[in-house]
Structure 1
Amino acid sequence: MPSKDWEFIGEDDLGGLDGECEYCGKELRYTHMVTHPNWGTMIVGEKCCDNLTESTVGSEQHVEFSNYVHRRKTFINSPKWCILPGGERFIERAGIAIEIVPAHDGSFRFNLDNVKGQGIHATLLDAQISAFDYVESGKASEFLAERRRRLTEHNAVNGAIFSGQIHVSRDSKNFRTQR
């Protein structure tokens, strides 16, 4: 087995001591996946990951992952959740208003800044985790910024049409705009 040139790929939390390091045989909860061009992929523990990659990537990723899990637990259990009589829940995270809405069938979805979410989640916890992950990843901010940009563009075009700056004419087959 090569002792150099290993590369870190990712990590996972198994939830219990359900894994085993393929390098030293130790029981694992947190697994780190490493790969080598001449060996393939291996599941190892934090220290073996650091040794094989000749870095502290395993330790750093573990700390980062632990912090992420702590932030997610804090978000889910936050006393800042506002719960309405209909079961709707509200909280703000990273400047984004998050609303979790129960459906009649017992499922849940989340809305961001009053934009209705498309995903259906079986439980409240699933919806909370999904909302947290979406906001935390930065994808929610990207989505909302793009949506605002499109709405601004749309409103500018409509404003120009209604103010007479753009003339819309229609013949039998085509729409045309003229300035």
Structure 2
Amino acid sequence: MKGYTQKNWKTFREEVIELDGKVCSICGRGEPDVYLQVHHKRYVQNKLPWEYPYKDCITLCKGCHAAEHGKVPPKFGWEYVGYDDLGDLIGICELCGSSLRHQFFVFHENWGTMEVGTYCCDSLLDTEIASNQVDSKKRYENRKKRFIQSSRWKSSCNTHKIKQNKISVVISLNENKYYIAMDDFKGKRLFHTIDEAKEHVFKVIENGEASKYLEQHK
């Protein structure tokens, strides 16, 4: 069918979506979580897309719309491949069309690899692996923020000190760059800002790299 780029169709589409409460009539989700489309329940030869009565149309998200047309990936047999935090809503879920920040990669032998969001990943895998991953990421970011802003930091002149997980940390400013010392072991890496240095401290203590290094150099 032609005419989907014309103004009449855009107006008709908006009216149908408005009548359906701006949510998918099958899964109940709405924008910005998913991209909404209008599905024609039947097609009449030579009839333009906006010339149908409202009762012959229904609002569906991209994923549910694809299912109605039989263009859907398998429902079972998916495997978790990996995860990427894009940092902002710049990705697109290949299953439902929603914008996403947390991108999950799933694989099916009869379909290949697909990039999906949290909800779709959990649905395909029938697990909460994606939700748990996102929750874990959020908790990590919250801990990092609290560490960077902590009142436990003792600052004087060009030094900032704290004790974290029994490790004494000193961040010093020298020639407009910050360097880190842990338990008197001075690191080689330099940082442009104090927050960058604190973030690095949190990372290496959190993931155990700092403890491992200090143990090896006792």
Shorter-chain-normalised TM-score: which range? 0.7 to 0.9
CA RMSD of aligned residues (A): 1.7
Q: Is the 8 A contact 1:8 1:57 kept in 2?
A: no
Q: Give the Å deviation of 1:95.
A: 1.2
Q: TM-score, normalised by structure 1?
A: 0.74
Matched, 1:32 2:32: no
The verdict on how the C-alpha distance between 1:46 and 1:118 changes in structure 2, with shifts beyond 3 A counting, is same
Residue 147 of structure 1: how far off its partner (Å): 1.1
Matched, 1:99 2:99: no
Q: Report the Cα distance in structure 2 between the residues aligned to 1:80 and 1:69, rounded to whole angstroms.
A: 18
> What's the offset of the Cα at 1:8?
3.9
Structure 1: runs of 5+ lacking an equivalent = 149-179
Cα-to-partner distance string for 1:137-169 (whole Å, 9 max, x where unaligned): 011111111111xxxxxxxxxxxxxxxxxxxxx
Provide structure 2 residue ranges, at least 5 long, that are not aligned to the other structure.
1-72
1:128-167 aligned at under 5 Å gives the runs: 128-148=198-218
Write the distance in 1 (CA, Å) between the matches of 2:141 and 2:217: 29
Scaled by the length of structure 2, the TM-score of the pair is 0.61
Contact 1:76 1:128 in 2 (8 A): yes
Q: Distance in 1 between matches of 2:171 and 2:141?
A: 20
Query: CA deviation digits over 1:88-145, x for unaligned, max 9?
Result: 10111111111111121x2212111111011112222211111110110011111111
Query: Does the residue aligned with 2:97 lie in a helix, a strand or coil?
Result: coil
Q: Rate the CA distance shift 1:34–1:128 in 2: closer, same or farther, 3 A.
A: farther
What CA distance in whole angstroms lies between the structure 2 residues aligned with 1:121 and 1:63?
29
Deviations 1:6-52 (A, max 9, x none): 214123151x3222212211111222233445544433211111122
Deviations 1:35-87 (A, max 9, x none): 445544433211111122221100111111110000000000001110011x2
Amino acid at match of 2:202: F
Query: Between Structure 1 and Structure 2, how many residues are aligned?
Result: 145
The structure having more radius of gyration, on CA atoms, is: 2
Structure-to-structure mapping, 1:67-78, within 5 angstroms = 67-78=139-150
Contact 1:121 1:127 in 2 (8 A): yes
2:94 match = 22
**1:90 and 2:161 matched:** yes
